[in-house]
Amino acid sequence: MPFPLSPQTIGALIKALAEGNTHSELGTLFMSLGVEQWDQEGERINKEKRVHGVLKGLRAADDEPAAKAALALARSAVVAGTPRDGAWRRSAAPWWQPLLDALAADGLEFDKERGLLVPAVAEVSIARERSLLEQALEARGWVDAAEHYRQCADGIGSRNWESANGQGRSFLEDLIPRAASELGGAKAPREPRAALQFLRDKGLLLEGEFDFARGLWEMCNSRGSHAGQSSEEEARFRFVAISAYARFLLSRLD
């Protein structure tokens, strides 16, 4: 699996962590993330070299835990530098926007509302799409579906692909029958495949929609939350496809 941060982002992150933390704070941060094994020099060197050593070690490790730790370091820096309003008002740290720009080039954006780094898609804000979908679900009172979707998105953000896939399946399992009931009446079945067939028989699906939705549901039933069976590419695809179809489906209920 490729390391999630480019050399440009690593450089921006080194600057952000070094300028945004004391030596003691860096030590606590590294220990909390379980990366202190790469903090060999500790306070004996300047902060930039210290952070560089840890990130160099994580990049060389080239495994899933190292990737998650690197993203956690990036998230901690972005959160620490975020501007605030209100009584605790502060401006963005000078290194904050350069770090965001570097992360965006790596396909990551900052969801300020939740304090998470989430996948970015060209011309599409995943954070905005997620926010709009959650608002639509909660406005209808579909709290279980909203919670499954929230956990699916959090799994993507934390690179827990199995968890994301499992929650994505649970989200569709709740969403499709609810939508079918509103579109086709209270007699709609409570099982997703049957609910989709019900909508098809009533002529309430667009041409090709039945095959797409059924295929998405069947895909989400494969390799779900089984450890080691969910790849990054598949999990990201499922999340984007589920998000897009859910918003499309909900748009027809209003």
Task: State the pTM of this model.
Answer: 0.59
Look-up of token digits 């992150």: 13
Q: Is the dihedral of CA 223, 225, 230, 235 positive or negative?
A: positive
- pLDDT (0 to 100) of residue 236: 82
Among 31, 73, 33, CA closest to 52: 73
- pLDDT (0 to 100) of residue 155: 81
Task: Give the span between the Cα atoms of 76 and 70, in whole angstroms.
Answer: 10
pLDDT per residue as tens digits for the range 137-154: 999 999 999 999 988 887
pLDDT per residue as tens digits for the range 67-85: 889 999 999 999 998 888 7
- pLDDT (0 to 100) of residue 85: 72
Model confidence at 224, in pLDDT bands (50, 70, 90)?
low
127 neighbors 135 (Cβ within 8 angstroms): no
Domain ranges of the chain: 7-106, 126-251
| Stronger pLDDT, 234 or 124, i.e. the higher one | 234
- pLDDT (0 to 100) of residue 225: 55
Q: Lowest mean pLDDT: which of 151-160, 182-191, 214-223, 236-245? A: 151-160
- pLDDT (0 to 100) of residue 154: 77
| Stronger pLDDT, 30 or 150, i.e. the higher one | 30
| Residues 6+ positions from 12 with CB-CB distance below 8 Å | 95, 98, 99, 101, 102
Q: Is the dihedral of CA 215, 216, 220, 222 positive or negative?
A: positive
Region 41-69: mean pLDDT is: 91
